[in-house]
């Protein structure tokens, strides 16, 4: 009889129109939009609302970046404990806001690890949930190099470094991508001696080469030691709590000693939920394979955000969720996934949208530039470092914009709007910009 009772509990079933697995930006925002459209939604989260972006990524990193900028501008004394407390306060405020959104009629929030029972059924603990359509939004986790000592004491990921209450005297960062350079900039301003070891010939290999080079030189001027074309071979943790990072550059071995080593070599999709092949979803090293509607190889199951490996940005996940939901509802949209703006919150900032100059191969691109040092507003802000670069085709249509400098992360959106509307250099030149503003650099570039 007891066994029968157990079986009954195990087979408890909740039915909804849509199941979303993962409550990061893609998951929870899609849940809210789906509920507003009249669907009943079961949202399942194994860890915490807001996902990596809110709890361990975008938001907390920018809190530290803001504190670092304030420290530089005001020449304050660093109290990293207060910085972390401020970061935690902001994160909690935003998580609480999401919790309120989860009270939207039609949304049922379930806490726990999700597992597929069949193509329409998910089990969490002893309960099962069924829906006509499903969206996988399980995100990503930090990568580790497959080298000796990668998991030794003294090696941290972007998650752990956010909670340090003392800035390390010496910080070695393995990886010169977005995560690595943001933390390099932050801890440089916090007073750490920072060394970045990057495998590629240039930092930020996915961004415009011109911008990446200039940012590297700028960070070097601020005292950050950047070793490019250098592959880490092993990490040794010494008895005095010092880590020794051994790398190779052009056949020669080098050593970096550090109190803390940050492993910042990217993130990998969390595909565990489909790896047992229970339902036959196709996936690879980059993540779950999807089409333009975010459909997997099982048509009623979608995958959005980091887990599909297309673009590891929170706002990309949000709009991929919107595309998936629109497809479920039979609605059309005009979302341009080739125009996803990105920003690197170093000091100075770097932002980009569209094609890089080196991406344009069918003809020689037209390139226009303007400089912060020639902008009145930038000079008044003591922010004369950097420039704006516009890449166009032969007809003058804007293909890409890249900015390095003050408020680049905000300035990039004028370009994003213009490009979504198919704008040209001629049209840009006719748009009136307020004076004195940083935005005037757009007109200055094409004048």
| Token pair in block for residue 205 | 């290999």
Continuous H helices in 207-358: 209-221, 314-329
Catalytic (active site) residue 435? yes
- Residue 427's CB is within 10 A of a number of other CB atoms, namely 15
State the Cα angle at 383 between 378 and 386, rounded to 5°. 90
d(CA 402, CA 215): 12
- Preceding amide of 160 cis, omega within 30: no
Widest distance between CA atoms in the chain = 84
Picking from 29, 50, 111, the residue whose alpha carbon sits closest to that of residue 324 is 29
**Residue that has been written with the tokens 């996902």 in this structure:** 51
70, 300, 413, 435: the active-site residue: 435
- Angle made by CA atoms 281, 286, 291, in degrees to the nearest 5: 55
**Contacting residues for 50 by C-beta, under 8 A, at least 6 apart:** 23, 24, 25, 28, 59, 91, 94, 95, 98
User: In this structure, what DSSP letter does residue 315 have?
Assistant: H
16 forms beta bridges with 131
The residues, ordered by sequence, that sit 6+ positions from 405 with a Cβ below 8 Å of its Cβ are 348, 349, 372, 378, 383, 385, 386, 387, 388, 438
| Close Cβ partners of 316 (under 8 Å, ≥ 6 residues apart) | 305, 310, 337, 340
Q: Could you list the active site residues?
A: 435
């Amino acid at each position: 009889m007891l066994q029968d009772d157990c079986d009954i509990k195990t087979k408890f079933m909740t039915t909804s129109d849509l199941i979303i697995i993962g409550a990061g930006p893609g998951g929870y925002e899609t849940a809210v939009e789906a509920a507003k459209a009249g669907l009943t939604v079961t949202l399942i989260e194994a860890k915490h609302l807001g996902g990596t972006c809110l709890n361990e990524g975008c938001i907390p990193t920018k809190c530290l970046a803001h504190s670092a900028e304030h420290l530089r501008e005001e020449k304050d004394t660093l109290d990293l404990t207060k910085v972390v407390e401020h970061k935690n306060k902001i994160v909690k405020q935003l998580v609480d806001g999401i919790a309120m959104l989860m009270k939207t009629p039609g949304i049922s929030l379930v806490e726990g690890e999700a597992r597929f029972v069949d193509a329409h059924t998910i089990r969490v603990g002893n309960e099962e949930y069924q829906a006509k359509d499903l969206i996988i939004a399980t995100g990503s986790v930090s990568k580790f190099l497959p080298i000796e000592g990668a998991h030794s004491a003294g090696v941290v990921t972007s998650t752990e470094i956010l909670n340090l209450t003392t800035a390390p005297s010496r910080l070695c960062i393995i990886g010169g991508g977005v995560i690595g350079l943001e933390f390099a900039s932050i801890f440089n301003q916090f007073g750490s001696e920072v060394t970045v070891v990057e495998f590629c010939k240039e930092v930020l290999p996915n961004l415009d080469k011109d911008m990446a080079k200039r940012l590297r030189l700028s960070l070097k001027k601020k005292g950050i030691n950047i070793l490019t074309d250098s592959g880490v071979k092993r990490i040794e943790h010494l008895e005095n709590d010092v880590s020794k990072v051994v790398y190779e550059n052009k056949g020669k071995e080098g050593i970096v000693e550090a109190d803390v080593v940050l492993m910042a070599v990217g993130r990998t999709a969390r595909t565990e939920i489909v790896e047992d092949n229970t339902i036959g979803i196709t996936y690879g090293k980059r993540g779950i394979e999807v089409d333009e509607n975010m459909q997997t190889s099982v048509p009623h199951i979608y995958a959005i955000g980091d887990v599909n490996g297309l673009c590891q940005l929170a706002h990309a996940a949000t709009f991929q969720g919107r595309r998936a939901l629109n497809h479920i509802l039979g609605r059309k949209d005009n979302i341009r996934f080739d125009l996803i703006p990105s920003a690197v919150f170093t000091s100075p900032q770097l932002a980009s949208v569209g094609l890089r100059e080196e991406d344009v191969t069918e003809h020689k691109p037209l390139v226009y530039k303007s400089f912060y040092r020639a902008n009145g507003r930038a000079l008044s802000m003591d922010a004369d470092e950097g420039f704006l670069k516009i890449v166009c085709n032969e007809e003058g249509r804007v293909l890409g914009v890249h900015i390095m400098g003050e408020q680049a992360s905000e300035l990039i959106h004028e370009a994003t709007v213009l490009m979504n509307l198919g704008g040209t250099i001629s049209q840009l030149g006719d748009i009136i910009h307020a004076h004195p503003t940083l935005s005037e650099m757009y007109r200055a570039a094409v004048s």
